Amino acid sequence: MQLLNDLFQVLHQYIGGHHWFIFLLLGTGLFFTLYLRFPQIRYFSHALRIVRGKYDKKGDKGDTSHFQALATALSGTVGTGNIAGVALAVHLGGPAALFWMLVTAFLGMCTKFVEVTLSHKYRDFDEKGMVAGGPMYYMKKRLNIRLKNGKLIKTGYWLGGFFAVATILSSFGSGSLPQINSITNTIFSTFGISHIVTGAVLSLLLALIIIGGIKRIAMVTATLVPFMAVVYFLGAITVIITNYQQIIPSFLSIFSDLFTGTAAVGGFLGSGFAFAFNNGVNRGLFSNEAGQGSAPIAHASAKAHEPVSEGMVAILEPFIDTIIICFLTGLVLLSSGVWNEKLPNQFQKTDIEVLTRHYDEQDADDVSQLEKHLNSNNRVPLFTGMLHVEEGQIRETVSVLHARSVAEQIEVLKDGEPYSGMLEVNNGRVTQTSREITFSGNSLIHSAPLTASAFTRSILGDWGKYIVTIGLLLFAFSTAIAWSYYGDRAVTYLVGSRYVMLYRIIFVAGFFIASFTDTTIIWNLSLLTVAFMAIPNLIGLLLLHREVKSTIRDYWKWFREEYPAKER
């Protein structure tokens, strides 16, 4: 498992985690924002009227309404990224990472408008009469190359195929694995319920819902999304108001270290600009999925006379998902102060590094060395050999890093009791494979447990973590529902609808297995699959920029003829 996790991390460094991918993602959003003259601002109020059904027409083809398509797409984006992903971004990059999440969302509003417009315009209907849409269809129909001799090279078909395969992989990496993993971890830490029990119950429920296809999925998500958003919003506001003295300092901290990185403070060992930038953009993409090409699959099912109208509905997604919900989560984390506090927790083995000597957090030189170790290639020496453990205590004079912090009060347990014996360590990694042996102590925490701790720092007390647990359960479960639909549309593109049921069975099985699998591995896998979808989609959008502009121009011409000024 450790080798697999290391492979994912190395691949991510050269793909989604590299500067070129970040510039492609933000550059596409910036290009279309300027090229189309800020449609995310100019068309915002029009999008609200469309989603309310003001311009609906009888006889429009599709499987869902505008609101149901928006709810399904939102259920695919409002998930662990809003609770666990924001916490991970702050944990890795400090408060400045939040700013880059918001920038990604603003530009993403325009990117999503463009990708949904094209995907709705070139959607198909499968052999069962259901909508089959998404970026793979505009790629297949519009990105082929015709040579001067008239020969057609089906580059679009193969590019669409690559995207469809990436979508299937991402339905596990984004939609299934991290969702159930975050749910079971949070329910275990809150209620003590076994991961396997939670996974089994939710897997059965998931199977019952997705077998019904998009109509049942749309019905469930249209009910879940508004409810879960209201519950989470009220809980977050309660935490922020309780810590009202920290609202302004927290808000300012997002911008104060924007171009310098966040210095070491508390248990947080510091983060440079590049690290905050990369992680803010990556977590922003994971949260709102703008440019990834997933949401257009849901929006393609909407009943709409003009594809641009559905594109405008999509503008609302990153705004709701990231600018509202993620920003609220960020303020909760910062105002509560838990983001840089060491808290009691059980360590995840893939987050543990054993260093050859003791490092003192009160020593500025030691802190500087650890910061470079975590945020650059200036690595400190890692321990290799046997650790002697007596009554749960490590006897060697070493430091243990867990979750990017120097762990304290470490205890090694076996079957819940203090362990005595030897532990093998190779290049800083504990190679002991026994599941019964665990590490616990005080360190920084990240992902959903960090957000759950932040929600307890209010008048709600320990009840706050139940809001996070319930919110995560609804958010993440609805995300898995939506992603099952994305995956089955990709299967339809590749091999037809007859294999969709097989895909659904595998999807549910993966959902169950991930309920008791290490979270760090799953997060690293999800980062890869997101990039594999986004790269061909972003390139396709840029190639068709002129068609996008002309399609929008045709829409407004149609709209002005169809609706007199007094009816708009």
Quick: pLDDT tens for 76-88: 677 667 777 788 8
Q: Helix 177-191 vs helix 500-513: angle between axes, to the nearest 10 degrees?
A: 30
Asked if residues 203 and 211 have their Cβ atoms less than 8 Å apart, the reply is no
Give Cα separations from 141 to 81, 135, 191, 509, 552 (angstroms): 33, 10, 51, 34, 19
pLDDT at residue 392, rounded to an integer: 93
Indicate whether 395 pLDDT > 90. Answer: yes
Q: How many CB atoms lie within 10 A of CB 260?
A: 11
Gap between the Cα atoms of 58 and 60, Å rounded: 6
pLDDT tens readout for residues 339-361: 999 999 989 887 899 999 999 99
Q: With bands split at pLDDT 50, 70 and 90, how would you rate the model's confidence at 7?
A: confident
In this prediction, residue 520 carries a pLDDT of: 65
What's the pLDDT band for 325 if we cut at 50, 70, 90? confident
**For the packed helices 96-121 and 545-562, what is the interaxial angle rounded to 10 degrees?**
70
**How confident is the model over 208-222, as pLDDT tens digits?**
888 877 777 777 877
pLDDT bracket for residue 264 (50, 70, 90): confident
Do 127 and 487 form a contact (C-beta atoms < 8 A)? no
For 503-522, what is the mean pLDDT? 83
Which pLDDT score is estimated for 566? 60
Q: Reduced to 3 states, what is the DSSP secondary structure of residue 417?
A: strand
pLDDT higher than 70, residue 432: no
CB atoms within 10 A of CB 13: 11
Fold of 2-37+64-134+163-341+455-567: Amino acid/polyamine transporter I (1.20.1740)
pLDDT computed for residue 519 by the predictor: 58
Average pLDDT over residues 29-47: 95
Neighbours of 499 (CB within 10 A): 13
pLDDT at 113: 96
Which residues of the chain are in CATH 1.20.1740 domains?
Answer: 2-37+64-134+163-341+455-567
pLDDT tens digits, residue range 284-303? 766 778 888 988 998 888 88
Mean pLDDT of 134-139: 93
Beta bridge partners of 418: 413
CA 84 to chain centre: 8
What letter would DSSP give residue 173? I
pLDDT at 251 over 70: yes
pLDDT at 434: 60
Backbone phi and psi for residue 460, each to the nearest 5 degrees, phi listed first: -75, -25
- Specify the 3-state DSSP secondary structure of 262: strand
* Helix runs in 337-380, H state only: 364-375
In this prediction, what percent of the chain has a pLDDT beyond 90? 41
Q: Give yes or no for residue 518 having a pLDDT over 70.
A: no
CB contact set of 326 (below 8 Å; sequence gap of 6+):
81, 82, 85, 86, 98, 101, 102, 105, 284, 287, 288
Helix (H) / strand (E) element for 397: namely: none
Write down the pLDDT at residue 435.
Answer: 66
